[in-house]
Structures are given as structure tokens and as C-alpha cells.
Amino acid sequence: MKNKKLLLSIGVVIVVLIGSFFAFELGKRSSGNAQTEEVQKVSILQYVSHPSLDDIRQGVEDGLAQSGYKEGENIEIGFQNGQGDQSKLATMSQQLIEDSPDALVGIATPAVQSLANETNDIPIMLGAIADPVGNDLVDSMEEPGGNMTGVSNQVPIDQQLELAKQLLPEAENMGILYSSSEDNAKPQVVEAEKEAEEQEFTTERYAVPSSNEIQQTIQAMDDVDFIYIPNDNTMANAMSTIVSEADKKDIPIIPSVDIMVEEGGVATVGIDQHELGVKTGEMTADVLDGADPAETPVYVYDEGKTYVNQEQVEKYGIDLPEAVEEEAEFVDEE
Ligand code: TRP
């Protein structure tokens, strides 16, 4: 008789425990789905306007929305654009942080660097950063260790130069055009030189301090059979100048992004820029839900799709190998 009572009370206790566990889990899940009334605040700092970064930024908002964070409902999104100006970036970073947002998003390396100078506490999401370790933003991709995590786009330079070899089999010398003021460009230049050797191209560096020097730099190129452009914001922003100068000298361009192919490059293997933003937005939502940036691995995109500009292919009389033609997406200006 006693035993029965004891068993019964143990049973009741177990049922209550299980019940409250589920109630707790449900509660957690609903806040995870951003169903709570509380409005969170995210502030985005974009380095400069160029089509790729604009796509990434739209992606961030889409990724947040897909994760349940909708503007005007449960999230407030602040935005500033540094217009490629370091001193503006610094002032804007301070302003954004004064509002004590729940998370910050930096789009492009200079924006993240500027935010990182201002706070070690507020989470900073990496928006398509080429080399977070090389630029000392995180300890490692696996364990970032501080207040930053997010998305890294590692340009598939090997595949891009392989494609260059296929399309321009006669080319010998590759000119690398990049900005000397962007930390994100340098590691890519080194990598491009390594991969160029692999494809038996010789290389020459053309570093420009700002977009003002692009025109004269291209005019002064001799013996350059094609121009390679890394994921460089200054170049992405000046693509129309680059294309018109290179066209004058009949130098084909192999850029590192599909959008630059659309703008007049010949071809590339490119990573979807909007997708980079969506993933950044989703990871931002995870952090708003409580994920710790220090322990959230940086997500790496390093595979792309082949994009070809038909008009440029015709201009340079390029024979598209069948394999390339089959897998390529054709993009054109307009
Ligand atoms: N990866 C660049 C950086 O770290 C930013 C970037 C993303 C970019 N997509 C791009 C630059 C396309 C030029 C073109 O700053």
C-alpha cells in the first residue's frame, strides 16, 4: 500500500517535470521564431555602393525576413553607406553604435574594420568578407573567438584562371588591377599570382591608390594580354571606367564577380552575391536569437557558377569550348 502511494507520487512528479520541460522548450522555440513582441535593432554599415554590395545588402534584409525578422514588425533596421570614405565610415560607425543595436552588419571589409574599431561587445556580422583571418577579424573560421562571425566569400581564383586559360589560350601575361587601399584585395592578389603560375601565365601588379588613377594605369599597360580584377570594392565601383579604357586598348577583362561580367568583363566563375547576403541575414537572426558569435563558425562560400558575356566573347573572337558553353549562364550589359 505504502509502495503504491510512493510510486504514484513519483509518477506525478515525473509527469509534471516532463510537462514543464515541453512548455519551456515551446517557449524557447517561439522566441526563436521571433514571435515575441520585442523589437530588435540591427544596424548595417555598407562600405560603398556598387551592384554586388547592393545585392548583398538586399540579401541581408531578405535573410532576416525569411528567419522571421520583418521590418516594421519585430525588427528595426538602420543603414548607413560610407561612400568609400574612411573618415565617413568611422563617424557612421560611432553613430550606429550610439543607438546600442542588438547586432551590427558590416558589408565589405573596410566597413567591418571600422565597426570593429568601435566595439568589442556588440555582435558584428561579416557581410561577404574575403579573408577574415588574414585581415585579423577572427581567430579562426571555426572558432571566431570574439564578437564577430558571418559570411566569407572566398573567390574561386583557381577556377577563374582555369577558365581564362580555356578562353584565352594565347594569352601570356595577366595584369592584376586592384586598389592599394583595400586590405581585402592583397591576399587575393597573392593567391592570383600563385594560381597564374599554375596556369602558366606571367603576372604584373597594377595597384592604384584610388579610382582616379585607373584610367592612366590602364593606358600605360603594355604587354598585358588580359586584366584580372579581384573582389575589390574600388574596382567594382569603377567598372564602367575600367571597361571603357580596356576596350580602347583591346584588353579583355576576367573579373572575379558575375556582375562585373554583366558590366563588360568577358567571363568568370562567380558566387551569387544576393545569396551571400541572405546567408548573412540568416546568421544575424541566429545571433539575435542568442547564438554566440565567438562560437559560431564563419560560413564560407567558395564555389561559383560560370558566367559569360556573349558580346565580349564576340568582340575578342573567342571560341567557347563546348563544355564552357554548356554550363555557362550568358549575361550581357543591360
Ligand atoms: N569580399 C569583399 C570584401 O571583403 C566584398 C565584396 C563582396 C565585393 N562582393 C564583392 C567586392 C564583389 C567587389 C566585388 O571587402
Do 66 and 105 lie in one domain? The reply is yes
DSSP annotation of 253 reads E
Place of cell 594569352: 171
Q: Is the CB of 108 under 6 A from ligand 1?
A: yes
Q: Give 235: exposed, middle or buried? Use CB within 10 Å, 0-12, 13-18, 19+.
A: buried
Separation of CA 177 and ligand 1 centre (Å): 15
Q: Are residues 263 and 163 in the same domain?
A: yes
One domain for residues 252 and 108: no
Mutational test site, ligand 1, from 60, 233, 253, max ligand atoms within 8 Å of CB: 233
205 and 324 together in one domain: yes
Distance, in Å, from the CA atom of 326 to the CA atom of 306, rounded to the nearest integer, reads: 10
Q: Are 229 and 256 in contact (CB under 8 A)?
A: yes
Over range 148-167, report the average pLDDT: 97
> Is the same domain home to 220 and 168?
yes
Q: What is the pLDDT of residues 181-218, one digit of tens each?
A: 999 999 999 999 999 999 999 999 999 999 999 999 99
Give the number of the atom of ligand 1 that is nearest the alpha carbon of residue 111: 15
Say whether both 145 and 169 belong to one domain: no
| 28 or 166: which leads in pLDDT | 166
pLDDT band at 28 (very low <50, low <70, confident <90, very high): very low
Instruction: Looking at the structure, tell me whether residues 223 and 327 fall in a common domain.
Output: yes
Least confident of 14-18, 29-33, 329-333: 29-33
Looking at residues 299-306, what average pLDDT do you find? 96
Structural domains counted in the chain: 2
Enclosing domain of residue 196: 157-270+304-331
Is there a single domain that holds both residue 227 and residue 317?
A: yes
| Residue 259 confidence (pLDDT) | 95
Among 89, 99, 117, 126, CA closest to 41: 99
Q: What is the mean pLDDT of residues 295-300?
A: 98
Q: What is the pLDDT of residues 217-260, one digit of tens each?
A: 999 999 999 999 999 999 999 999 999 999 999 999 999 999 99
**Residue 164: pLDDT over 90:** yes
Residue of 231, 258, 260, 262 best suited for mutating to test ligand 1, as the one with most atoms within 8 Å of CB: 231
Vertex 146: Cα angle to 141 and 151 (nearest 5): 40
Task: Decide whether any atom of ligand 1 lies within 6 Å of the 273 Cβ.
Answer: yes
Percentage of residues in the chain having pLDDT higher than 90: 87
Hey, what's the torsion of the CAs at 15, 16, 19, 23, to 10 degrees?
A: -170
pLDDT computed for residue 332 by the predictor: 78
Please choose, from the candidates 139, 137, 142, the residue with its C-alpha nearest in 3D space to the C-alpha of residue 126.
Answer: 137
151 phi/psi in degrees, rounded to 5: -120, 135
Task: Give the gyration radius of the chain's Cα atoms.
Answer: 24
Question: Is it the case that residue 29 has pLDDT exceeding 50?
Answer: no
> In the predicted model, what is the mean pLDDT of the chain?
92
Q: Is the pLDDT of residue 334 over 80?
A: no
Which strands form 329-330's sheet, in the order they lie side by side? 267-270, 305-308, 329-330
Average pLDDT rounded to a whole number, residues 143-158? 97
Give the nearest ligand 1 atom to 153 CA. Answer: 1
Q: Is residue 41 over pLDDT 70? A: yes
For residue 19, pLDDT over 60 is answered with no
Q: Is the pLDDT of residue 171 over 60?
A: yes
259 lines ligand 1 (CB under 6 A): no
DSSP for 273-294 reads: HHHHHHHHHHHHHHHHTT--GG
Residue nearest to atom 4 of ligand 1 (CA): 129
- pLDDT for 2 equals 56
Residue 163 predicted with pLDDT over 70: yes
pLDDT at position 24 is: 55
Give the closest residue (by CA) to ligand 1 atom 5: 108
DSSP per residue, 168-216: -TT--EEEEEEETT-TTHHHHHHHHHHHHHHTT-EEEEEEESSGGGHHH
pLDDT higher than 80, residue 333: no
Q: Is 160 in the pocket of ligand 1 (CB under 6 A)?
A: no
Q: Ligand 1 atom 14: the closest Cα is on which residue?
A: 231
Q: Convert the pLDDT of each residue in 81-110 to its tens digit.
A: 999 999 999 999 999 999 999 999 999 999
The residue whose C-alpha atom lies closest to atom 3 belonging to ligand 1 is 108
Distance from the alpha carbon of residue 273 to the mean position of ligand 1, in angstroms: 9
Co-location of 308 and 295 in the same domain? no
Domain for residue 29, yes or no? no
Q: pLDDT band at 8, cuts 50/70/90?
A: low
Half-sphere exposure in the Cβ direction for 197 (13 Å, CA): 5
| Domain match, 137 and 258 both | no
CATH number at residue 169: 3.40.50.2300
Together in a domain, 196 and 278: no
Ligand 1: residue whose CA is nearest its atom 9: 52
